[in-house]
Amino acid sequence: MKPSAFTYHAPTSLDDAVRVLAEAGPDGKVLAGGQSLIPMMNMRLAAPAVLVDINRLPGLDTVRVDTGGVRVGALVRHTDLEDDAQAARTVPLLRQGLRLVAHPVIRNRGTTVGSIVHADPSAEMPAVLALLGGSMEVRGPSGTRSVGAADFFTGPLETGMAEGEIAVSAYFPRPAPGSGTAFVEIARRSGDYAMCGVAAVVTLDADLRITAARCCYISVAPVPLVVDMAEAVVGAVPASADLSAAADLAADRIEPEDDIHASADYRAHLARVLTERALAEAAEAALRETAGPGPHTTGIGAMR
């Protein structure tokens, strides 16, 4: 388990990084936290001839929080984002998802942006981005562009990024006021990629009726699959929402497959169970959110 030979670059400016990567063409790969790429290289499942290590690039290791959402730089480690209290208050789903990503030692090195670019259909953070309708900022030889989550995930381990592009940051918009979120999954062992996972966001109005609900599914579709649950639950109060109708909506859309850990049927079953659990938890969070600390707060802004 030793990688084949490669040329290693560790540029210190983003422009240099983009240039070196462009020169390498299809042989080039970006190295971020290395938690997915290095094992693949050691097993010779990936053999990039040129490695562009972005760890020395300045300014990419920051988390920026504003009222609209959270912008996460390409070198922000899972752990640092997980520990960021402001980010967790603004977009609670970040921490809810991150604590399910692998184990602390892997989160210490792995980057959230790297995980999104890697686009594993079982990974949590792509689902967080997709559910919240976030976007990726990518830089290539012809400049910077923003790609919405819906266009970003194109297949298993495939994204809308072009050859020679580097992801600079991910942007996670804050959910609408009155929203609550949850991320639940079932994995074989703690920290493993899930057999099925569901992220949910539920929004309530002042009468505590559901105005919007969405779920995003991992490990049961080629990309993080967002399903709008409005049809099943909008208008209901959380306590009487028809969660099983929501589960039906999911069942129609997912495309689970058999593997050695779980059958497609079992995954489909989990998708139903977890849809109900995720929506119930998210609704509960939304109720807490709307109740807030004082009488007329709408949550996050006021809580800060």
Partner 1 sequence: MSTRLLGAPVQRTEDRRLTTGGGSFLDDLGSDACAAAFVRSPHAHARIRDIDVMDALDVDGLIAVYTYDDLTGPMAEPLPLLIPHPSIIDGRTPYALAREYVHHVGEPVAMVVARDRYAAEDAVERIRVDYEILDAVVGVEKAMQADRIVHEGMADNVAAHLVQEVGDAPAAIGAAPNTLELDLEIERSASIPMEGRGVYARWDSARGGGLRLYSSTQTATGVRAAVAAKLELQLGQVEVVVPDVGGGFGLKIVHPWPEEVMVPWAARQLDREIKWTEDRREHFVASAHERGQQQRVRVGFDDGGRILGLDVQILHDNGAYLPYGVIVPIVTSTQLLGPYKPGAYRVEFHSLYTTTAIVTPYRGAGRPQGVFAMERTMDAIADHLGKDRVDVRAANVIKPDEMPYDQGMLFQDGRPLIYDSGDYPKMLRMITDLVGWDDFEEYREQARAQGRRVGIGLACYVEGTGPGPYEGGHVQVETSGKVRVATGLTSQGQGHETALAQVVADKLGVPMSDIEVTTGDTRRMGYSVGTFASRGAVTSGSAVAMATVRLRDKVLKIAADALEADPGDLEIIDGRVQVKGSPAQGMELGTVAVLSNPLRYAFDAASAAATQFSGAADYDRPPVPEDEAPGLEGTDFYSPLRCTFASGAHAVIVETDPATAEVRILRYCVVHDCGNLINPTLVEGQVHGGVAQGVAGALYERMAYDEGGQLLNASFMDFLMPYASEVPRIEIDHLETPSPLNPLGVKGAGEAGVIPASAAIAAAVEDAEGFRIDQMPISPSELFHLRRRHARGEIASVPRRPAHRSLTKEN
Ligand X SMILES: Cc1cc2nc3c(=O)[nH]c(=O)nc-3n(C[C@H](O)[C@H](O)[C@H](O)COP(=O)(O)OP(=O)(O)OC[C@H]3O[C@@H](n4cnc5c(N)ncnc54)[C@H](O)[C@@H]3O)c2cc1C
Contact positions toward ligand X, by CB under 6 A?
29-37, 39, 54, 74, 101-102, 106, 110-111, 113-115, 117-118, 123-125, 166-167, 192-193
Cα-based distances in Å from 295 to 157, 174, 298, 302, 303: 46, 22, 9, 11, 12
Which C-beta is closer to ligand X: that of 29 or that of 89?
Answer: 29
Contact partner, 280, from partner 1, ligand X, none, Cβ < 5-8 Å per class: none
- Residue 240 interacts with partner 1 (CB under 8 A): yes or no: no
Residue 265 in the binding site for partner 1 (CB under 8 A): yes
The residue (of 3 and 222) whose beta carbon lies closer to partner 1 is: 3
Nearer to ligand X, 37 or 229 (CB): 37
Q: Is the dihedral of CA 22, 23, 29, 30 positive or negative?
A: negative
Nearest CA to 95 among 257, 285, 256, 225?
285
Residue among 43 and 176 whose Cβ is closer to ligand X: 43
Applying CB under 8 A, which of residues 100, 270, 280, 282 lies at the interface with partner 1? Answer: 270
The verdict on 141 binding partner 1 (CB under 8 A) reads: no
Query: Two tokens at 102?
Result: 């692998």
- Mapped onto helix, strand or coil, the DSSP state of residue 264 is helix
Interstrand relation of 50-53 and 28-31 (parallel, antiparallel or unpaired):
parallel
According to DSSP, the β-strands at 50-53 and 143-148 are: unpaired
The residues of the shown chain that bind partner 1, judged by CB under 8 A, are 1-5, 43-44, 103, 186, 188-192, 195, 260-263, 265-266, 269-270, 273
